[in-house]
Amino acid sequence: MPSSGIQAARYSRQTRFAGLGQAGQERLAQARVAIVGLGATGSTIAHALLRAGVGYLRLIDRDWVEEHNLPRQSLYTEADAAQLLPKVVAAKAHAQHINSACEIEALVLDLHAGTIDQALAGVDLIMDGSDSLETRLLINQWCVREDRPWIYSGVLGGHGMTANFRPEQACWRCVFTTSPEPGSMPTCETAGVVGPVVGVIGNLAATEALKLLTGQGQANPDLYMLDLWAWQFEHLPLPAPRPDCPVCGLRQFDLLDQDSAPTLSLCGRNAIQIRPQQPIKMALTQLAAHLQQADVRVIQTDYLLRFAAETLQATVFPDGRVIISGTDDPALARGFYNRWINH
């Protein structure tokens, strides 16, 4: 651990900023933050908070680094993609070289009703870096129930938005009163995304995090939106909490109470995630040996196993979760899973 003198020198430019000061820096060193989703905005937020001196980061993501992530996901390298490293594993490795004083916990985890208590317990602030509406709705319910603040951020194409959701103020459902059908909205996979927009939105969200964690400065009271490609900027004031809001008004937490879906279509990715309710019958090493006997080429790392058969590709994780790519048909994916993985 670097000495206090070295730490003081490291953050001298920040502490000279009147809006933060030494007291604010000391609060950052004690702060505990969870980042859900280590993709584009999530990796930008993690990068900013690491360099700012936040003392503890819990990194949560279910995916691995791929080459198409590299133009906009700032914590990753070509080597990470070549090694099929889980995003949180790669992010933690790089983060330890950026700020060795920060305690980093990496969870290769699919956030759902069965895992959210474990994933978010004991932190001061949740940062949303996910690309899933379902995940945001889940986070919102959990934060309202647990009286915890969270910061939303999202990017699509050249457009981005961010907002703070704090206890005693409007929650996500107060603002977004209706939800589109799953798969009906464009995603980064279908509509693309411009990398610099990610940096702008991620750093705006990280700046708001510094304010909330230190209790200094005026936190943004609005939904902030921008279209960087068209150079358009807009603020929409968040409404007052709605007494009839099903979440913060009526305190209905249906997403937290229901069993997680065993089969999930990953919107825009032409992939199905299968989360077995029972453990798969073989460990990854046994599965690899079985597949090789069937003359199937297998790539195995410490974190996952990947193989292709028929017209599909499967990525299997140690907890039994499987992502089957090449189809958006749950029945087809389930049949493939039963034939090749859990027979």
What CATH number should be reported for the domain holding residue 293?
3.30.310
Residue 279 has a pLDDT of 62
Residues of the chain with pLDDT under 70: 1-6, 180-191, 260-261, 267-268, 278-282
C-beta of residue 152 within 8 angstroms of C-beta of residue 238: no
In this structure, the number of other CB atoms found within 10 A of the CB of residue 74 comes to: 20
Q: Residue 34 burial (CB < 10 Å; 0-12/13-18/19+)?
A: buried
Token readout for 58 is: 């819990």
C-beta of residue 35 within 8 angstroms of C-beta of residue 46: yes
Listed residue (67, 93, 63) closest to 81, CA to CA = 67
pLDDT, tens only, 95-143: 999 999 999 999 999 999 999 999 999 999 999 999 888 899 999 999 9
Residue 2 has a pLDDT of 47
Let me know whether 209 and 107 are in one domain: yes
Let me know whether 53 and 182 are in one domain: yes
CA 95, CA 93: separation in Å to the nearest integer?
Answer: 6
Number of domains in the chain: 2
Let me know whether 56 and 201 are in one domain: yes
- Amino acid identity of residue 257, one-letter, is D
HSE of 9 in the Cβ direction (CA atoms, 13 Å)? 4
Let me know whether 54 and 126 are in one domain: yes
Let me know whether 90 and 205 are in one domain: yes
Let me know whether 25 and 115 are in one domain: yes
Let me know whether 175 and 287 are in one domain: no
φ and ψ of 154, to 5 deg:
-155, 150
CA 270, CA 265: separation in Å to the nearest integer?
Answer: 8
Let me know whether 86 and 182 are in one domain: yes
Token readout for 170 is: 């409007």
Residue 4 has a pLDDT of 56
Token readout for 288 is: 């690899």
Query: First CA to last CA across the chain, in angstroms?
Result: 50
Of 239, 257, 275, the domain-final residue: 257
Token readout for 59 is: 């990194």
Token readout for 239 is: 């409404």
Let me know whether 112 and 10 are in one domain: yes
Let me know whether 79 and 97 are in one domain: yes
CA 210, CA 31: separation in Å to the nearest integer?
Answer: 10
Beta-strand pair 312-316/232-237: unpaired
Of 102, 188, 245, 267, the active-site residue reads: 188
CA 198, CA 40: separation in Å to the nearest integer?
Answer: 6
Residue 132 has a pLDDT of 85
Task: Decide if 248 is catalytic.
Answer: no
Which residue segment(s) compose the domain that 323 sits in? 263-340
Let me know whether 240 and 321 are in one domain: no
Residue 1 has a pLDDT of 44
Let me know whether 186 and 153 are in one domain: yes
Residue 185 has a pLDDT of 62
For the chain, strand residue ranges (E) read 32-36, 56-61, 103-108, 125-128, 150-156, 159-165, 222-227, 232-237, 263-266, 271-274, 298-300, 305-309, 312-316, 322-325
Of 257, 274, 308, the domain-final residue: 257
Q: Which CATH number belongs to the domain containing residue 13 in this structure?
A: 3.40.50.720
Place of tokens 């996500």: 172
Residue 186 has a pLDDT of 59
Of 235, 257, 279, the domain-final residue: 257
